[in-house]
A = this chain, B = another copy of it.
Amino acid sequence: MRADAQRNRARILTAAEEVFADGGPHASTEEVARRAGVAVGTVFRHFPTKADLLRALMKRLLQQVTDDAADLIAHGDPATALFDFFARLVERTAANRTVVILLAAEGMEVSITGPLGSLGDAVGELLARGQGVGAIRPEIRLDETMALLTSACQGALQGGWDHDLRRRTLDIMFAGLRPSG
């Protein structure tokens, strides 16, 4: 792949992330091209279909989520690592909500449960560590944790919530996970 093609591909992905983040679900490919400083044809050379572009964005998002989990298992405080993972995942989901919604509308295997399924082991590890230091009630099970995580992400997809509200809502869920008293 030629150097300029590589550079343009990266610029298009970055531009697409921005455009879909604040332009809403009706943002056009033309707008992505404009923000990337590139012609429409170039966008379509790299991503033959708008869905392909969205897929590429999603792949990027999944990579970030996976890295988050691995990072928190390796370096996080066991008492807060699971909560931190919740918060990070919800924020990333909210930032990419247009992408997720559009892909879901295309009937593609991209709902937030898909990636979570493959992350089950990682979340289980974070949960076990939290319970090991008494930060999370011992009777909490993995399936409940995953369900709660899915709910939080799906809720964040609804839009109209600012960062502060998402944070406060998560705090209520966290309170439900912690030992009482």
Contact = CB atoms under 8 A, between A and B. Distances in A.
Q: Say whether chain A's binding surface is mostly helix, strand, loop, or mixed.
A: helix
B169 A25 contact: no
B143 A147 contact: no
B181 A169 contact: no
A120 interface: no
Interface string A139-181: 0110110011011101111111100011011011111110011
Interface residues of A, number: 42
* Minimum-distance CB pairs A-B, first 6: A151-B155, A176-B176, A154-B154, A107-B159, A175-B176, A172-B176
Given A107-B158, A155-B155, 20 more contacts: A24-B105, A24-B108, A26-B105, A26-B109, A104-B157, A108-B159, A111-B158, A144-B165, A144-B172, A147-B158, A147-B161, A147-B168, A148-B169, A148-B172, A150-B158, A151-B156, A174-B176, A175-B176, A175-B180, A180-B180
